[in-house]
Structure 1
Amino acid sequence: MRRSERLIGLTKHLLDRPNQAVSLSGVQGLLNAAKSSLSEDVAFIRQALEGLEQGTIQTISGAAGGVRYIPRLSASERTAFAADMVSRLEDSSRMLAGGFIYMSDILGDPMVIDNVGRLFAEAYSDSHVNVVVTVETKGIPLAVATAHYLNCPLAIVRREHRVTDGSVVSVHYVSGSNRRIQSMSISKRAMPDFARALVVDDFMKAGATCKAVVHLLAEFQATVVGTAVFAATTEPKEKLVADYKALFEVSDLEEGKVPIVLPVMQSDAVLQDKGEMRANP
């Protein structure tokens, strides 16, 4: 196999397995190459990915050894994605009664889902997440993409217990939208031992649903490393969930009005700057 072919094969193998440890010994037979040659290839691929701002290849030390692809979005991709989302969301026809915004078409776009998954995974790449948790149904595509890029399983919180879930743990909570007492449950088998969970959702107003999920996960003695949402409202300012990150903040959510959409989670620097602006208006 020529080196150009080997580089393409190795790159695809790594990109198909984000945040997953890959043993070079394990791919020697697949690419018909010596381990020393593969190590040189990894260095070349790392340099190319970092130059394109598409992530990096991390070397794993220890007896097992290996490498891991850490995905990223480039600055230009972030900017283009943010501009596209703002353009699509700032549309008065999207406004629904009760201060909600129609986003089903956007959250059904495969490219949007993929970009959101990469951004969420990048934001929590150092949090040692071993399960992504979401509430059915609109948050599921975003959670699937996030779980893929974090290389961990997905656990879905149900509003109604299904017999196929097996044994479940349930909690009751007060809905933030209609102030009704509702219930949610999650299968015991869906949660790993010593869980470090990332909660993913599509939209947050007061944060009642996400808070209920945190309480539900507490029944498993799980550590919730954070909550990631596609969009959050600017009001109320104080959410019921303190530790959350949103890609976009929206305001002026009234029927017939054009909502105001502000990109938030474009980089750690943006998050820090925004926090400083809030603390020092």
Structure 2
Amino acid sequence: MDKLQRKERVAAIIKILSDNPNKVFSLGYFSDFFGSARSTLSEDISLAKKVVEYLGCGKIETLSGAAGGVKYTPGLSEKLKSEFLNELCEKLSSPDRIIKGGYIYMNDIVFSPDISSKVGTILAAYFIDKNVDYVVTVETKGIPIALMTANALNKPLVIARREVGVTEGSSVSINYVTGSSKKIQRMSLGKRALKKGSRCIFIDDFMKAGGTANGIVELLKEFDCELVGIGVLVEASADKKLVSDYISLLTLDMVDEENGKIKIYPTTNN
């Protein structure tokens, strides 16, 4: 195969790195792959950095030392993030999304690959420095968002279930109380799902009072694991939360069924 030109190598480097977020590739890997000198590849990577920075889609870093190399961390610039979240609020504000009981229809949002991918990228940025081992969620509509967050962090996704199947082996189950309705729920997780002492984040699509998140905290204790972060797409503003340290991207302030109005806006996270 003929050697690639510089612009072709830069495109290929960006493709390889973006397909493997937060994975470190050595210069030797690219040198062998392209049949090019390391000094040449260093210049290529510098150009790739500029392209990613221009597009506002994350960053490419070079790491020094014996275990050094280059990696891509997904992200959105503040401008792109703001535009995306405002567009999402506009979509979710449509009166035809109102469901009886003061809820809004979100299935088309969370199951959209494009939207859930961007949501996962934004959420992952909040936890990139937490040394996360696993992303944890429950078997609800939050799975696509949690999966995209796990992808951006390049970490495994673990799903707590209402009932664990026989293929997962022996399991640990707990009962927890929901924050809003005060109902007793059950969640289970296979004993092989998590390694002892792991650091986890919990990702979900919606938080009302935080009962599920609080249940995850208790479940992780059974595995001697630590919950180091919570991230949700939407939080309800009216309910008192059972958890205090969390990130939400959007805040649902009001659903007026009678007048067909929804008030939702981007959350200001400190």
Same-fold call, TM cutoff 0.5: yes
One of 250, 253, 266 as aligned partner of 2:255: 253
Q: Give 1:224 deviation, angstroms.
A: 1.0
Number of the residue aligned with 1:167: 170
Amino acid at match of 1:51: Y
2:47 aligned residue (44, 49, 71):
44
Q: Distance in 1 between matches of 2:182 and 2:243?
A: 17
Equivalents in 1 of 2:51, 2:120: separation in Å? Answer: 22
Superposition pairs of residues 25-64 of structure 1, within 5 angstroms: 25-64=28-67
Give CA-to-partner distance per residue, 1:179-200, whole Å, 9 cap, x none.
Answer: 3222101112221342111100
Contact 1:131–1:192, Cα closer than 8 Å, also in 2:
no
**2:12 matched to 1:9?**
yes
With over 3 angstroms needed to count, the CA separation of the structure-2 counterparts of 1:227 and 1:165, relative to structure 1, is same
Residue 177 of structure 1: CA displacement? 4.5
The residue number in structure 1 matching 2:245 is 243
- Length, aligned pairs only: 266
**Corresponding residue SS for 2:269:** helix
Deviations 1:209-250 (A, max 9, x none): 1110111011112121111000000112x3101111101000
Aligned-residue RMSD, C-alpha? 1.5
Residue aligning to 1:271: 269
Mapping of residues 41-190 of structure 1, within 5 Å: 41-190=44-193
SS in 2 for 1:105: helix
> How far does residue 254 in structure 1 lie from its aligned partner after superposition?
4.1
Contact 1:23/1:66, CA 8 A, preserved across alignment: yes
Q: Is the 8 A contact 1:155 1:190 kept in 2?
A: yes
Moved more, 189-198 or 145-154: 189-198
Q: CA offsets, 1:52-71, max 9 Å, x none?
A: 32222222222122111112
Distance 1:129 1:102 in 2: 31
Contact 2:195 2:223 (C-alpha < 8 Å) held by counterparts: no
Partners of 2:83 and 2:155 in 1: how far apart?
A: 28
1:141-190 Cα distance to aligned partner (Å, 9 max, x none): 00110000001000000011211121211110122354322210111222
Match among 222, 226, 244 for residue 223 of structure 1: 226
Off by >6 Å, runs of 4+ in structure 1:
none
TM-score (normalizing by structure 2):
0.93
CA contact (8 A) 2:196 2:224 kept: no
Instruction: Verify the 8 A CA contact 2:139 2:162 in the aligned structure 1.
Output: yes
Hey, what's the Cα distance between the residues in 1 that align with 2:163 and 2:205? 19
Contact 2:178 2:210 in 1 (8 A): no
1:143 counterpart SS class: helix
Map Cα deviations across residues 106-147 of structure 1 (whole Å, 9 max, x no partner).
111111111101101111111111100000121110011000
Identity of paired residues, percent? 42
